[in-house]
Amino acid sequence: MTSVLDAQLSLSAEEKFRAHFYLLLSRLLGAPADAELLGLMQELEGDDSAIGEAITDLKKLAANISVDQSAEEYEAIFIGVTQGELTPFKSYYLTGFLNEKPLAELRQHMDELGIEKSEDAAEPEDHIAFLCEMMHGLIVGSFGKPLALPEQYRFFENHIANWAPKFFEDLETTESARLYAPIGRIGKLFMEVESEAFLIAA
């Protein structure tokens, strides 16, 4: 049986880039940034494209924010005293409530693909960070063999494309966002790139 490492070695440079991008978004959105993640952000290299400029902005901000400040910002945006400024769940964005039909649809699709929720994960599976982590896994073969583009597109279209662009747009402009403003812009632009690439490949 082909191992995950063998599968990753067979990926194209473009697929590896996409996978790494999803994994980065997952880490940025799944928990407050620690010193290691802030250091990683400072090593990112942008270019003169729109997404490259957003990456450069993120790099500069990461060099001028402390771990405590980053945690406070994450808390204000995603947690709050009773609720944060944003609720980063597919079900909430599509219905206005948590744990609704979109979550059930995701769980059914996860069962089809052999994806199990981590025992360490307290949040519902339709959190944006988990969805990005799942896309990474589908590309690199973490749940078996890497999925072909049509199957990746099915997951992306059903569980990400129908709400994540609006979430990232909200993240870019939400009141407390400083470090997370360019993260929102990066996510929004990456969603646009993914949507266009899937349509071209279809």
Residue 29's CATH number: 1.10.3480.10
SS3 state of residue 127? strand
Task: Say how many domains are in the chain.
Answer: 1
pLDDT of residue 44: 96
Q: Quote the CA–CA distance of 127 and 122 in Å, as a whole number.
A: 10
Identify whether the C-beta of residue 150 lies closer than 8 Å to the C-beta of residue 138. Answer: no
In percent, the amount of the chain with pLDDT more than 90 equals: 87
* pTM to 2 decimal places: 0.93
Average pLDDT, the chain: 93
pLDDT of residue 121: 78
pLDDT of residue 46: 94
State the pLDDT confidence band at 202, using cuts at 50, 70 and 90: low
Q: Which residue has the higher pLDDT, 120 or 63?
A: 63
80: left (phi over 0), alpha (psi -120 to 50) or beta: left
Domain that holds residue 169: 4-201
Q: Quote the CA–CA distance of 6 and 28 in Å, as a whole number.
A: 27
Q: Which two tokens stand for residue 168?
A: 């990232």
